[in-house]
Amino acid sequence: MSTTHTPSEDRSAVRSLTRLWPYVRPVRTRLFLAAFIAIVASCLSLVIPLVLKWMVDGPVADHDPGGVWLGALALLLLGAAEALLFGFRRWLVARPLAGVEAAMRAALYARLQRLPVSFHDRWPSGQLLSRGTTDLMLVRLFLAFPLTFLLVNGATILVGFMILFTQDWLLALVLLVPVVPLTVLMTYFEGRYAIAARLAQDQVGDLTTLVEESVLGIRVVKGFGRHRSQARAFRDMAKELRGTELSKARLLAGIWAGVTVIPELAIGTALVLGSVQVAEGDLSAGTLVAFLSIALALRWPVESMGFLLAMCQEAASATDRFFEVMDEEPEADTPGARSEKADGPDSPDGGGMRFEAVGFRHSDTAEDLPAVLGPIDLHIRPGETMALVGGTGSGKTTLTSLVPRLHEMTSGRITLDGEDITAMPRERLRSLVSVAFEEPTLFSTTVGENVLMGADPDRADPAEPNGGSRAEDLERALRVAQAGFVHSLPDGVDTEVGEQGLSLSGGQRQRLALARAVVGRPRFLVLDDPLSALDVHTEALVEAALREVLRETTALVVAHRPSTVLLADRVALLSGGRIAAVGTHQELLRTNAEYAWLMSGTGTQSPAAGADRTATEADRTATETERDAR
């Protein structure tokens, strides 16, 4: 998917940021209180010029040192009160805002777990990672600083101008002149900066994806000597990001120059006019000092607007990126629309696993192109093991992913013991069906925890006094998968396998994945070529133990080798997205040229050419395999 996004013309930063309200609502009291305290503290700074006016027109003019010391004490107390209030505001918001960030991160992670596999197929992991880290940090900083100080600065400017108008309305009007050019400048800046901020955040996500892929694929990078090309790709992407950040810096420099120069010109003009009025006796020196002190105090609230708006734009882009994921439709927890039942469980044909006119096509596939699968009609009887055989790209893995609803079928239905899987809550469906994939995935935890992910969570824990059942399930699963090697690891089943389990060999990872699939004694078992990484001797041992498990379940097993096919009671040949033939291994060898060709292992010979010769060779290969298995 394209990760670069340009804000639409009708995009509103305010509209984007208001979507944060559900997460902010629980801490709104503390945030409002913190904003009020900050406004009070900021307004205290505007009282200081009035004290100066009193000192200049009073004790200074009257040569009263005692009054000067009294004024100095008042200034000290006002400064201390302002500092204490700002410190209290910071303490007040630190914990709740950390909680808001944590709640948003937890919500994002929970949504990622519930989004369908098709979503994860489209989205680079680095983009998701940057949304859960950098973007949420920007949101927290927005709530802690720009949001509060936009209110504080706005209130300070309003109160400051009210005081200025009470001191001298003509000079106050002079200071109001920059409002129009500043508004135009900030409006122009906001649109340009929004585009640059979003582009930079997307580029950070792309860069994160590249780093993650390089780390996870470090063996490939080193094995093929591609470290220079990877480093070059990283430099190119980092250079693009640097260019975007420099464009943001130029925009910030421009807005900062504008909001600094324009008010300074107004203050300079007011200083000249005020000095003339003092010289003519129309204005007291204390009033001019107070006026200029208030004007200078208002400089930071005005000048910081550009910086605060920039942070708001970055937070708005981060919020948009966060809700792009949150707005994705998750897998429904409730049963689907196709809730009608097939033949009941008591029907002679209703039990087991049944595919009825099942079809599947990817959502981005053009309508004029054929579907990946369909229609598929297949019945696996209760307690039966069905091998699924087909050429590369025939759709075997896609078909097996439809059973636990990792992908949603686009037509037809699948029933388990007569019940439509779309009528089941997903949690119940996935407690009935256990899966093992050809590419095993392990997590950065212990061997035991990886395997027991497939166990019934309601089973007792082995650490409890009467909790031996999970430990027994674990040992049984390890025996079935011939994974006894775990006991020779440094900490046995408590050994950490590391990220992706890369500290283990491919065959070891595959055996642990198989153990995870069988540990829960599932009613239905779906295995996608689970023995492809095993040597022939280990494969024979695993198959012998696996036969015992298959007697207790209804299983669909993707197979590429005759030895794996022999585990099954019957075989289904998948060709062109459809079931081309169903029968026993020997029957299909003798009656189906394509199946015989697939099982023969004779290389490039096509099914149509030399079918008899291929079938004879495949039959001889299968007979030898049966003899070896016995």
- Of 359, 356, 524, 339, give the one whose Cα is nearest residue 421: 339
pLDDT, tens digit (0-9, with 9 covering 90-100), for 468-490: 478 888 999 998 888 889 999 89
The Cβ-side half-sphere exposure at 98, using a 13 Å CA radius, reads 5
- Specify the residue for token string 């130029």: 250
Going from the C-alpha of 280 to that of each of 64, 283, 352, 406, the distances in angstroms are: 26, 8, 104, 85
SS3 of 265-325 = HHHHHHHHHHHHHHHHCCCCHHHHHHHHHHHHHCHHHHHHHHHHHHHHHHHHHHHHHHHHH
- Of 582, 476, 487, give the one whose Cα is nearest residue 520: 476
pLDDT at 126 over 60: yes
Q: Where are the alpha helices (DSSP H) in 116-226?
A: 117-122, 125-132, 134-144, 146-167, 169-176, 179-216, 218-223
Least confident span in 1-10, 183-192, 599-608, 616-625: 616-625
Residue 322: the pLDDT is 93
Domains 16-326 and 353-583 share a fold: no
Going from the C-alpha of 246 to that of each of 203, 350, 409, the distances in angstroms are: 14, 66, 48
Residue 388: the pLDDT is 94
pLDDT at 568 over 50: yes
Q: Per-residue confidence at 629, pLDDT binned at 50, 70, 90? A: very low
Going from the C-alpha of 399 to that of each of 363, 407, 423, 585, the distances in angstroms are: 16, 9, 19, 20
What is the reported pTM?
Answer: 0.75
Do the beta carbons of residue 251 and residue 193 sit within 8 Å? yes
Q: Strands 524-528 and 554-558, how do they pair?
A: parallel
Q: Annotate 264-278 with b (16+ C-beta within 10 A) or e (fewer).
A: eebbeebbebbeebb
Class of domain 353-583: alpha beta
Element (DSSP H or E) covering residue 373: strand 373-380
Q: Is 580 helix (H, G, I), strand (E, B) or coil?
A: strand
Do the beta carbons of residue 383 and residue 554 sit within 8 Å? yes
As a whole number, the mean pLDDT across the chain is: 82
Residue 237: the pLDDT is 92
Do the beta carbons of residue 364 and residue 410 sit within 8 Å? no
Q: Strands 433-436 and 419-420, how do they pair?
A: unpaired
Q: Which fold has domain 16-326?
A: ABC transporter transmembrane region fold (1.20.1560)
Residue 462: the pLDDT is 44
Domain boundaries, the chain: 16-326, 353-583, 584-630
Residue 413: the pLDDT is 93
